[in-house]
Chain A
Amino acid sequence: MVVEGLVKGAGRVAPGSAGELSGEADAVTLTAPSSNIFLPADLMKTPTACAIALLIAVAVPQPGIAQARGQYSDYEGMVRELKSIAKSHSDVVELESHGRSPGGHDIWSVTLSAGQADEKPALLVVGGVHGADLAGSEISVRFIRDLADGYGVADSVTQLLHGSTIYVFPRLNPDAGEAYFRFPLYERRLNGRAIDLDKDGYVDEDGFDDLNGDGFITAVRVADPLGEWMPDEEIPELLRKADAAAGQTGVYRLFTEGRDDDGDGAWNEDEPGGVDLDRNFTHNYAWFEAGSGPHQVSEAESRALADFAFAHPNIAAVFTFSPYDNLLHPPKKPGAKIEGKKPITDVLEQDVPYLATMSSKFREVTGYADSPEPPPAAGALSEWAYYAYGRWSFSVPAWWPPAPADPDSCAAADSAAADSSAAQDSTDVEAALADTAIAAAADTAAIDSAAAEAKSKSAEPDEEDPLDDQRRLWSWLQASGQADAFVPWTRIEHPDFSGLEVEVGGFVPFTASTPPADSLDARAEHYGDFLIHLAESLPRVRLERVEVEPLHERLYRLRVAVTNDGVLATHTGVGSRSQWSPKVRVAVELDSSQRLASGRRLVLIARLDGSGGTKELTWLIEAEMGSTVTVTSGSPMTGSDVRKVTLK
């Protein structure tokens, strides 16, 4: 998809004073408070990933970190952008609020459609659900802008919006998103609800603390011969768990950056906020875990999304920006079978081939191939969309650090990205660590136990070294001249460990998930292309054949073939069993002089396969020669078709 006039964040660069935000600019440039050096975004616009890999790292040997993070919109900026789009394209864009987050931000959706939106098959796109996912949110907004601008200009977009409806929730967790624009910087996942995360009777009493005053929440390591952590052999700045069975001994204890504010022997265990929306949905919901919420769909934001989804039964597929990637990591064959009332925990066998098809298409359209292994999901929106809502659900991170110096991935990146903007896209290296950076940089019992649990939950033994993602990030940072995105381990005095050797260091927050916004051009374009392809692949039902066979001058056999032209089947295996996925209705309308001798007036079809899946139906009708009957077929999810036939 190439749409001229793409609007990039028209932001001004905010002054770099400590903790200050530019509230007036449409987009806000985040700058580190303690640094007077800024890396120009242009520095990252090097030709290709391979070229980058060959470059000698341009490290900035300064204490404190300089980060030019490009221009992301904070909540206010995003709303201004959405309102401006809706205003200038009111023919195809509708902006709607669905209530407020606990932090007081409206939960916005955008409907893009030419004509009656709720009668066409629809794609629901969700950005910014996985904590402060600014990149996913940014791409979602750009997608909205591109479609709005493209309507009436680019034929593909015009056709798309006539045949389909696109719903976008560009930032489902605005409370978390705002953390990107605040110091100290940390990768917030929680919304603004005040919850006693550690269940000690006090709320939000032990959050992170910026001990070295660099504006970033990184990690604390304490030299301790009884510690469980040791430097990684390959990259000694990184820490790994010592393997006692292999004769290794740890030398550090590892924590997230902060104090034990409430003196309970745990560090940063009750940060401000309450619920991670990407853990608040129903599938595989983790009860009683910090951040999962008091119960499923407990939050204003998650409920707004779910209510919207059920109120729009024309949604046939859901696309989510999240690490629970099933586009580059599709489910493996053969898939699961439904066994009585047993919970469905894996993608069903009838759906696996469709996910494989869309996965290949995603690779083909975007050229991306090297996303990190998805972490285990619990309560994720994308899984809810398939397992409970019963729709096609696709998910991929908005961005991740590319695997550096890997000839394969360079080839892939090259083929995908011929122009320079795509090349900075290969500077894309940060997403993988959205989850793992903190885990790497920090230890708390919670993180360890979560990781252990995750491992025990995954069906196949995870052979991958948990450090791989960090090594990959590290290498990429070195190669792409961003070595300063790793805060070097530096001695501090820690009030909880007085007299001990304590250092602060680790990856700058967001390094693994959120590249400079202005480096996202190529990604936004590729994802836009894929999303358009996805919308074009939605099920479309039509009457392929309507034939009348006279048996007698008063008795006619009506034969109808109902066909799905979409690439995707009309219903997923789950949806075909669900009352929430409207079935394909085939109705024969008779007048009072006509009578059905066989067949039902209304037939409901639970699933038609994709790419021509067909169901043939017959009726016997007693009627006068030359009289007519009307056959209608379809559903909100598939569009509909009507045919009037004369009996003769």
Chain B
Amino acid sequence: MQLTNRAKKTDKSELSLFERSYLPSLATGLGITIKHFFQKKPTIEYPEQKRYLGPVFRGHHILKRDEEGRERCTACGLCAVACPAEAISMVAQERVKGEEHLYREEKYAAVYEINMLRCIFCGLCEEACPKQAVYLRHDKFVPVFTDRSDVIYGKDQLVEDMNQRYQRDAWTKEDAMKLWK
């Protein structure tokens, strides 16, 4: 019974004397290995070299600010609800007078924490967010933890730095396709 057309016919005829001497196949083999010896190695030496992961890579979380530097998050909790790993927790607080330059909405997250051991980097928080506040960066990993106290990331590690604003390389499929050219 033929399932695919990829099966190769093997030659089962008796070997000739020349083939039986083992030398021709040995020479072929040595030729193949020496070819690989001089080939360019595809290795990317990770800590020194990092490959571009694409505009859709889901890495380190970021809480965006708007153009005037105000936090976009309004502590609605939709991200926490969407999170399948229950990694996100927050404490909401009302904006008082004089804080309009800090928070865009009338309510803001006084505490916003992501447990990076729980997070599975699925990006559902990003999808759930109605204020375009939380994103997963494509250009930064969450680093290795060496201590349990490093695991929970607070606002100090998550809120965007206005001096180094995060910009995704491509938002649409068309833009992303251009990146690979």
A, B from the same assembly: no
User: Which of B's residues lie within 8 Å of A, judged by CB?
Assistant: none
User: Which of A's residues lie within 8 Å of B, judged by CB?
Assistant: none
